[in-house]
Amino acid sequence: MNEESSKKGSLATLIPYLKSHRSRLALVCFLVVAVVLIDLVQPWLVKEVIDRYVTVSKPDSGAILGMAAAYLGLVLLAFALTWYQDIVLQRIGLSIVRSLRIDLFRHIQRLALRYFDQNSAGRIMTNVVSDTEALNNFFTLFLSNTLRGVFSLLLIMAFMLHLDVSIALYCFLLIPPVVILAICFQRKILTVNTEVRHRLGVVIGFLAENLSGMTIVQIFHQEAKQQKRLEERNKALLAATILENKWFLLFFNITELFGDLAVAALVWFGGKGVIGGTISFGVLYAFVGYIRRFFQPINTISQQMNTQQSSIVASGRISRTLQEVPDIKEVDGAKAPEVEGRIELDGVSLAYRPGHPVLHDIHLLIQPGERVGFVGATGAGKSSIMNLVTRFYDVTSGAVIIDGKDVRHWPLEALRRSVGIVQQDVTLFSGTILDNIRFFQSHISEERVREACQLVGAEPFILRQPLGYDTILSERGSTLSAGERQLLSFARVLIFDPRILILDEATASLDSRTEEVLQKAIHRVSVDRTLLVIAHRLSTVQQMDTICVLEQGRIVESGSHDELLRLEGHYWLLHQAGLLLDEVA
């Protein structure tokens, strides 16, 4: 039943795309039939030569040469048609996969952060890359080979029936055993192949892990032990591949044998027929020719079954993704208010999973230009508040109101451009420094990028790069230090000139000296903006106008540094402990 539904899913995903290429697909079918026909006419031509021009009283060599010349014309035509047909079919496949990929990617971009938090990057990647590629194989391998194979089989049967009905029917007796054989083989190969893939995956995983951890292996002096563990996995893979190979060769050789037996049977029965005068020799020849061609399409089709299986699985996964409903939606006709930077949390609660709230009834009013720090242990709800202000998630109850308007009634893009966020992990893309800062939006001028970089103090190190602003960042900026990357991300936020700026542990992974440079940048950047800072070290939030101490999803204290110290409450304790708890493991 499961298989049934996934098959339906496969059809459902592809059908609309296939429909838009209906006429081209019909053309391809027509071309395939023409090409196969020209190819299959060969034994029939020989039969004609034998019966009409050779084994007659007056052999006609002129007619034979004429026939050869005419067939040459057909063959050249077939050459052109084959080429054209292949290109048309592949183009259909490629453009369908292209639209699928783009639709899928657009859809994924529309999904809310919840989707990305719940699905690993690896899974999403598989969806966008491998699953669509599997569908590409569906067209390039499965469809083209199957179309050709099926039409070949049908046409061979037609030719046989045309030549002699009773011999043809005898030959068709071969079909059931060959089909049964092919199905059995198919099943076997599927299981064997799955096992090979699995064991190969194990070996790759083992190698990947041990190569990245080779230092540990060497330091603990366990090379021999790991070699032995590889041997176990490698041997298992060896056994599986040898088995797979044996099955392939078995099937291949059995069909070959079938071919020879069929020819022998034709010689026996057909020979008698020729002597008895019931059939001509040419007909017997043609049958021999056709029966030899009979097995090739069956071989080809059964080899494509793996492709078909994996594309069914793939398209099932794709359609499931396409059915995901984005849970953050823009209200129709939403309009942004005049942005000043006033934030109000009105009895806000949030639960990522139903029944497990992480924020409880938070009330907080932040005035434009106010600087607010948030402290608390991991899991206290600091980042969750930011997720609500940026509307990465929607509140479970209550409301987040920015400049008098519920964020759910803001246009998403306007909201996110009014609220800038700098995170601990800086995301850089492969491209130039310039493009990274302006986020690949070429309408933002280079001057503006420069201004931003000068303001945050990033320009000196950018100019030190080989090509300055045009330096291409390789491997997501791994050549830059953590501090430099963070400076770039400050500059990036400035480009968009948000009224509200969130620093989410922006300086957590930096050493003290780099942090100092960044603190200065923060000072310059935060002028005239509402600033929300999630702190890692108390020193970062000391100068804030207000500090909110969060504990288990509630604001337990708030006030300025001095006020909070005087309270001798939670903040005071944290302060005494000297360091904030980084992570509660």
Partner 1 sequence: MKGLRIVVSYIRLHWLFYLVGISMVAGGSLLAAQIPRLLGSFTDSLRDGRLGSSEMAGYAGLIVLIGLVRVSTGWGGRVLVHHKGRQLTYQLRQQLFEKWGTLSPSYYHRHSVGDMISHALSDVEVVRELVSQGINQAVSGLAMLLAAIYIMAMHVDWRLTLAGMGPLLCIPLLVKWLGPQIRLQSQRSQEALGAMVQTTEEVIEGIRAVKAFGTEHVVISRFEKRVDTIVEEKMRFVRLSALFGALVPLMVNIGFIFVLGYGGFLVTQKTISLGDFVAFTLYVALLRMPLEQLGNVLNIVQRSIASLNRIDELLRVVPEVLDRKGPLLDRPLQGALCVKSLSFRYPESDRDILSDISFSVKPGQTLGIIGEMGSGKSTLANLLLRLYDPPDGSVFVDGVDILNYPLSRLREGIAYVPQDGFLFSCTVLENIGFSDEYPDSDRAERCARITAVHDNIVAFPEKYATEVGERGVRLSGGQKQRIAIARMIYKDAAFQIMDDSLSAVDTTTERQILLNLRELSRPGSESKGPLKATIIISHRLSAVQHADEIIVLEEGRIVERGNHATLISRCGIYASQWFMQAGQSEEGEPESTEVDGERDISQPDLDAEMEVLEAGRLEEAL
In the region spanning residues 22 to 61, those forming contacts with partner 1, defined by CB under 8 A, are: 39, 42, 45-46, 49-50, 53-55, 59-61
**Binding partner 1 by CB under 8 A: which of 11, 173, 180, 264?**
264
Chain centroid to Cα 386, Å, comes to: 29
Q: Which residues are 365's β-sheet partners? A: 344
**Binding partner 1 by CB under 8 A: which of 3, 413, 470, 528?**
413
In whole angstroms, how far apart are CA 415 and each of 341, 368, 408, 418, 442? 11, 16, 10, 5, 21
**Binding partner 1 by CB under 8 A: which of 72, 169, 331, 467?**
72
**232: burial class by Cβ within 10 Å (0-12, 13-18, 19+)?**
exposed
Tally of CA atoms within 13 A in the half-sphere of 348 that contains its CB:
30
DSSP state of 31: H
Site for partner 1 in 527-546 (CB under 8 A): 537-539, 542
Contact between 174 and partner 1 by CB under 8 A: the answer reads: no
- How many CB atoms neighbour CB 55 within 10 A? 12
Contact between 94 and partner 1 by CB under 8 A: the answer reads: yes
Please tell me the distance from the alpha carbon of residue 285 to that of residue 274, in angstroms, as a whole number. 11
CB of 225 to partner 1, least distance (A): 6
**Binding partner 1 by CB under 8 A: which of 158, 184, 249, 463?**
249
Site for partner 1 in 274-313 (CB under 8 A): 274-275, 281, 285, 288-289, 292-293
CB of 567 to partner 1, least distance (A): 12
Amino acid in position 86: D
Binding region for partner 1 (CB under 8 A) out of 17-25, 162-170, 393-401, 412-420: 412-420
> Per-residue contact track with partner 1, 186 to 225, x per CB under 8 A?
--------------x--xxx-xxxxxxxxxxxxxxxxx-x
Residue placing its CB nearer to partner 1 in the complex, 2 or 478: 478
> Per-residue contact track with partner 1, 451 to 490, x per CB under 8 A?
-------------------------x----xx------x-
Residue placing its CB nearer to partner 1 in the complex, 133 or 340: 133
- How many CB atoms neighbour CB 73 within 10 A? 9
Contact between 169 and partner 1 by CB under 8 A: the answer reads: no
Residue placing its CB nearer to partner 1 in the complex, 128 or 364: 128
Site for partner 1 in 492-521 (CB under 8 A): 492, 496, 511-513
Residue placing its CB nearer to partner 1 in the complex, 154 or 239: 239
Render 423-482 in DSSP notation, one character per residue: ESS----SEEHHHHHTTT-TTS-HHHHHHHHHHHT-HHHHHHSTTGGGPEEPGGGTTS-H
Contact between 572 and partner 1 by CB under 8 A: the answer reads: yes
DSSP state of 127: I
Q: Please name the residue that has the structure tokens 């001095």.
A: 562
CB of 307 to partner 1, least distance (A): 17
Residue placing its CB nearer to partner 1 in the complex, 365 or 579: 579
> Per-residue contact track with partner 1, 312 to 351, x per CB under 8 A?
----------------------------------------
Render 348-377 in DSSP notation, one character per residue: EEEEEETTEEEEEEEEEEE-TT-EEEEE--
Binding region for partner 1 (CB under 8 A) out of 87-95, 166-174, 446-454, 459-467: 87-95
Binding region for partner 1 (CB under 8 A) out of 10-18, 85-93, 174-182, 524-532: 85-93
Q: Which residues contact 291 (CB under 8 A, 6 or more apart)?
A: 171, 174, 259, 262, 263, 266
**Binding partner 1 by CB under 8 A: which of 169, 175, 365, 577?**
577
Binding region for partner 1 (CB under 8 A) out of 3-11, 173-181, 260-268, 548-556: 260-268
**Binding partner 1 by CB under 8 A: which of 232, 429, 460, 463?**
429
Cβ–Cβ under 8 Å, residues 277 and 140: no
Q: Which residue in 132, 92, 494 sits closest to 317, CA to CA? A: 132
Helices within 277-375 (DSSP H only): 281-293, 295-303, 305-322
For the chain, what's the residue count?
A: 585
Residue placing its CB nearer to partner 1 in the complex, 111 or 161: 111
